[in-house]
Every structure is written in C-alpha cells, then in structure tokens.
A and B are shown apart, each in its own frame.
Chain A
Amino acid sequence: MNKYFERLYNGVIKENPTLVLMLGMCPTLAVSTRAMNGIGMGLSTTAVLILSNFVISALRKLIPDQVRLPSYIVIVASLVTVTELLIQAYIPSLYEALGIYIPLIVVNCIILGRAEAYANKNTPGLAVMDGLGMGLGFTVALTLAGAVRELLGNGSVFGINVLPEGVEPIGIFVQPPGAFLVIALFIAIMNAIGIKTRQRKLVEEGCGGECATCSAPCGETEEVDKK
C-alpha cells in the first residue's frame, strides 16, 4: 500500500508537474485567470490522465514499441473527446470558460510524458495512482496560480470579494501579462528555497567542484552563513 501513497506524494510535492518539472505550461498560463477555472481544468486533466495511464498500462504488452507514440496519441485524443462531450453536456459554464483549452489537453505534455515515463512500465494499479498524484499536483498548482491572479487582478478568491472598499485591484494580473508574471514569481520563490537548501548543504558537505550544475553564487556561501 505504501507504494501507492508514495506515487501520490511524488505527484503532488516531489515531482509536481507544473512547479518542479515545468510541464504543461500552456494551460497553466492560459486558464489561471480564476481559481475556479484552475480547479475545473485541473480536474478535467486529472480524469484524462488517470484513464490514459490505466489504458496504456493495461495495453503495455500489446502495443508494439515502434508504433507506441501514435497509439498513445489516439488513446489520449479519444479520452479527451469523451471528457469534452461530458463537460459540454453537464457543466456548460465550465465549457464556456475553458473553451479551446479542453480539446488541447491532447497535446498537454504531462499526459504523454507520464505515459512514456511511467504507465508503459508499471502495473495498472500503480499507473492509476501515478495519474491521480500528477493530476492533483497539476490541479494544486493551477488553483494556486488562479487564486493569486484572481486576488491581485480582481480582488476576489473563488468569486468572493476579499478586498476592502476603495482598494483598486491591479487589472493587469487577470490579463495575459499577469500569467507570465505570476508563474515567474512562483518559480523564483521555488528557486530561492532551492538555493538556500543547496547553500546549507554546501557549507556542511563542501562544494564538489561541480560548477556546471550549481546555480549558487560561488564564494557567497560564507556571507550567508554569517547572517
């Protein structure tokens, strides 16, 4: 059972597809104007990801290696079409809000990436948990980006006004440039945390001289230590 929970932890935190692996940037930037859109897009992608991981994992011994990518694309495209029709039928408001980005789940690199990196090597049970973990990680990142943009650009979170009277929201954050700025900020924060831990490690273990893979500024570790 532990193995299954490990997949969830891996997807949401350790290898978060958006914030750590930087996959699926297009939908992240495009639909994060509202927190609600983030959840809708995240859950639609999660549904497709779980099903595609399951189908691909179940068929992994039947699909010949040479034609595996076209086969995966057809499987994913069929699942996306089904999801699109279901959303159109039962949640028309979400269908309106996400528009072209629902069929574009087909070309979301997270889905093909997980198929190629995980589902075609593991059992269906594990593949489903991997899809769930990765999908939830994507949903968390999208919702977070959506909430920040909605708060800054519209003064509300999940449609509820939170800013006091007279405070003007910064409109640019719900427009295209805001998407780039907020994601840049997220990655910068992750980088800052990463650099701190790496520097602490450097002080403890010493620098192995691997300057090519090190982004910590050389010679500044001592200063940080003094502070």
Chain B
Amino acid sequence: MTSLILIIVGSALIHNVVLNQFLGICSFLGVSKQMKASASLGAAVIFVITIASAVASILYDNVLKPLGLDYMKTIIFILVIAALVQIVEMFLKKKSPAIYKALGIYLPLITTNCAVLGVALTNVQNGYNFIECVLSGFGTALGYTIAIVLLASIRSRIKEEDIPAPLRGAPIVLIAAALMSIAFMGFAGLSF
C-alpha cells in the first residue's frame, strides 16, 4: 500500500512531469494564459493519460512481450494514444456535450502532448504492473494539472505588472516556471 501511495506522490510532486521531466511543455506554456482553459486541459489530460497508461500496459504485457515485439512499443503506443483520444472525443461528444464543449480544441491536441507517450514508455521501462501503471499515469497527470493551474494563476498576476520589454511574453513565463521548478525541488526531501 505504501509503495502505491509513493508512486502517486512521486509522480505528481517529486518527479513532476512538467517542472522536472520537461514533458508537455508546449501546452504548459501555450494554454496557461487562462485559468479556466488550464483547469479544463488538466482534467482532459488526467482522463487520457490514466486510460492510455492502462491500455498501453495491457497491450505491452499481453501482446507485445509474449510475441517478442517490444521494440515496436513506440509505434504501437503512439497509435493507441491517437486512437484513444479520438474515441474519448467521440464518446464525450455523444454522452456529455457540456464537458466536450468545455475542453474544445485541447482534447485532440493531447495526442501530440509528449507527456502521454512519455508516461507509457517510462512505465514499461520501470517494469510496473497494471495497477502501478494506472496509478503512475494518474499521478503524473495530477502533477501536470497542479503545475499548469499554478502557472495560470501566476500569469494572471504577471499581466498586471510592469515588466521590462525584452522579458515580456515567453521569457517571463519561463522564469516563473523556473521559480516553480525550484519550489518543487523541495519535494525531493519527502520520504516515507
């Protein structure tokens, strides 16, 4: 049980996917302009990464490994993720149009979010079993959501400050991310 909690805390805070592993930077910088969009994207990412980790884990353990095809994992995983995002999109459109509308363009864009493929590949590398894969996927996505929501709230304050001209736009956001990253390094001291 402790090891399972450790996986969630570790992947959400200690090895934060954005601030420590640098995955999903594009959407982290691009979408964090608005608080609401950030929270929606976070929710969508939690949804997709958790399911993608589960499916990738099942496929790897039951199909790729017994057939000796584990070198095909990159190709198979990216196809699974693309198909999955498509299915999730169609499902939400039909069953819950409200959520679908809230997520908008960010849902299909998750396919190219390297965090999804990154988590699937790291899980396999670490030799996690099914439950550990799902938890690590969920924890990673939770870490992504925490980071993007925090950055969105910092950016809403930055907007009102007088910033030197060359630092406006991307540089000040990256500096904010750097400070967040320093803060998150503190979690490395967590031990059970």
What residues of chain A have their CB less than 8 Å away from a CB belonging to chain B?
A: 22, 25-27, 29-30, 70, 73-74, 77-78, 80-81, 84-85, 100, 103-104, 106-109, 112, 172, 175-181, 183-185, 187-189, 191-192, 195, 215-217
Say whether A172 contacts B75, CB under 8 Å: no
Contact B75 A181 (CB under 8 A): no
B166 near A107 (CB under 8 angstroms)? Answer: no
Known: A81-B72, A180-B181. A26 touches B121 (CB 8 A): no
Asked if residues A85 and B71 are in contact (CB atoms below 8 Å), the reply is yes
Given contacts A100-B125, A176-B181, contact A216 B71 (CB under 8 A): no
Q: Within the complex, what minimum Cβ distance (angstroms) separates A37 from chain B? A: 13
B64 at the interface (CB under 8 A from A): no
- The smallest beta-carbon distance between A74 and chain B, in angstroms, is 7
B43 interfacial by beta-carbon distance below 8 Å: no
User: Are A80 and B74 neighbours in the complex by a CB distance under 8 Å?
Assistant: yes
CB nearest to A70 among chain B residues: B82
- Are A176 and B74 closer than 8 Å at their CB atoms? no
* Bound: A192/B167 CA distance, A: 8
A188's partner among B113, B171, B179 (CB-CB below 8 A) is B171
Distance to closest chain A CB from B130 (angstroms): 21
Known: A85-B71, A180-B178, A215-B165. A109 touches B112 (CB 8 A): yes
Distance A80 CA – B121 CA, assembled complex (angstroms): 14
CB distance from A4 to the nearest CB of B (A): 30
How many residues of chain B get a CB closer than 8 Å to chain A's CBs? 41
Check if B114 is an interface residue, CB within 8 A of chain A: yes
Q: What distance in Å separates the Cβ of A22 from its nearest Cβ neighbour in chain B?
A: 7
Contacts known (A26-B22, A81-B71, A109-B112); A184 close to B166, Cβ less than 8 A:
no
B74 in contact with A84 (CB, 8 Å): yes
CB < 8 Å A-B pair total: 116
The 7 A-B pairs of least Cβ separation, nearest first, read A180-B178, A184-B174, A192-B166, A30-B22, A177-B181, A188-B171, A77-B75
B1-9, B23-31, B48-56, B132-140: which lies at the interface: B23-31
Instruction: Give Cα A70–Cα B79 distance, bound, in whole angstroms.
Output: 8
Q: Name B75's closest neighbour in chain A (CB-CB).
A: A77
Please report B residues at the A interface, Cβ cutoff 8 Å: 19-26, 29, 71-75, 78-79, 82, 112-114, 117-118, 121-122, 125, 165-172, 174-175, 177-179, 181-182, 185
Q: How far is the CA of A106 from the CA of B168 in the complex (A)?
A: 31
A28 to chain B, nearest CB (A): 8
Q: Which residue of B lies closest to A217 (CB)?
A: B165
User: What are 17 A-B interface contacts by the 8 Å CB criterion?
Assistant: A26-B114, A27-B22, A29-B25, A78-B75, A80-B74, A100-B118, A100-B121, A100-B125, A103-B73, A103-B117, A106-B74, A106-B78, A107-B114, A180-B175, A181-B175, A183-B174, A191-B167
Set A85, A107, A180, A216: member contacting B174, Cβ < 8 A: A180
Distance in angstroms between the alpha carbons of A85 and B185 in the assembled complex: 33
Indicate which residue in B21, B24, B170, B172 contacts A22 across the interface (CB closer than 8 Å). B170
The complex places the Cα of A192 from the Cα of B168 at a distance, in Å, of 10
Tell which of B75, B167, B168, B179 touches A81, judged by Cβ atoms closer than 8 Å: B75
Do A176 and B19 touch (CB < 8 A)? yes
Given A26-B114, A77-B78, A183-B174, are A103 and B71 neighbors across the interface (CB < 8 Å)?
A: no
Q: How far is the CA of A217 from the CA of B164 in the complex (A)?
A: 10
Q: A77-B79, A100-B121, A178-B178 are in contact. List 12 more A-B contacts (CB 8 A).
A: A25-B26, A25-B29, A26-B23, A70-B79, A80-B74, A84-B74, A85-B71, A103-B73, A107-B114, A172-B182, A180-B178, A191-B171
Q: Is the CB of B178 within 8 A of A181?
A: yes
**Residue numbers in B under 8 Å from A29 (CB-CB):** 22, 25
